[in-house]
Every structure is written in structure tokens, then in C-alpha cells.
Amino acid sequence: MALPHWTPQHLLPPGRHEADLADVYERLVYDAPHQNDREFLFSALNSYLGVAQRVIGSGRAWLGGAFVARTERPPRGVDVVLLPDDWGALKRLDGNGRTALYGLLTLRGVIIGQPAMYLEAIQPIGGMLDGFLCRPGDEDVWESVWAEGGRGIPEMVW
């Protein structure tokens, strides 16, 4: 199902809109300004979602941020919230699985040792993406934040 056309405010219409990668490319890359920048971000998103599917299994991803708007400036990144179908499977991940899961998420206010440093944020895909994990029952909170200002939310199911 194709993503709907842009509103006069340069946003997708309110609500969640089911989409696949081809739909996302058509509306958010091909039919938006700054195609070269968006191509780069789309490639990062495509890789990210492939890894997310391997680590999480089945689920959904909501897209947000400037990438899902027709902005005058090029978008600097893509925001993604992951909604796993089986939360229990994530709890059962072994050490390598947990490491892979944490690699999908944006971590803020990180302190590391040897040498000791404070990092404001660690982001997946070299900082081109912010990845978040939605806990069961928090969908309404995420949706209200991401739909702020009448923004539509592309929803990808895998």
C-alpha cells in the first residue's frame, strides 16, 4: 500500500500508514527534496531494518523525524521505533543477542571507562539513525509524541 500524498503542511496525513520499503522510497526519497541526502539515509534505514529483523524476529517499525517530512533543509537522520511482536523472546536473548539488540538502540548519556569518557549519545549506523524500543503498553505514548503536530507515521511490518 503506497504512502499517502503530502499535506499542504509538507507532512504525511495524520495516522499510521502501513508501508514497505518500496513505498518509503517512493514517498520519502523520490517524492521529496534533497534526494541525494535521502538516498543515503534510506540505505542506512534498509540495513538497519534488516539487522532488526534478524535480532528481534517479527515486529513493526515506525518512522519519524525530518525524514518523514518535506523539509527545506536536508534531513540529518531517520528516527525509528521498533515494536517487537514477541517481547518475551527479547528477554530470553543470550549475551550476543543482547549486544546486537543494544547496537540497534540510541543510547544517551553514556559513560565508558578506560579511558573514562562521557558520550552524549551513541547512535546506530554511524549516527544516521536514532533507534528506540517500544515496550508493550507504551504504543500510545510513542504514537502521541511522533504524531505531534498532525504528523503521519509510516508503519513497516516484517
Q: Domain spans of the chain? A: 17-157
Does the pLDDT of residue 151 top 90, yes or no?
yes
CA 46, CA 124: separation in Å to the nearest integer?
A: 13
Does the pLDDT of residue 46 top 80, yes or no?
yes
Does the pLDDT of residue 113 top 80, yes or no?
no
pTM for this entry? 0.91
Domain 17-157 CATH class label? alpha beta
The more confidently predicted of residues 1 and 150 is 150
Range 101-108 contact pairs with CB under 8 angstroms and sequence separation of 24 or more? 101/55, 101/56, 101/133, 103/51, 104/48, 104/51, 104/52, 104/55, 104/56, 104/131, 104/133, 105/131, 105/132, 105/133, 106/130, 106/131, 106/132
List pLDDT tens digits, range 127-140: 899 999 999 999 99
CA 137, CA 115: separation in Å to the nearest integer?
A: 39
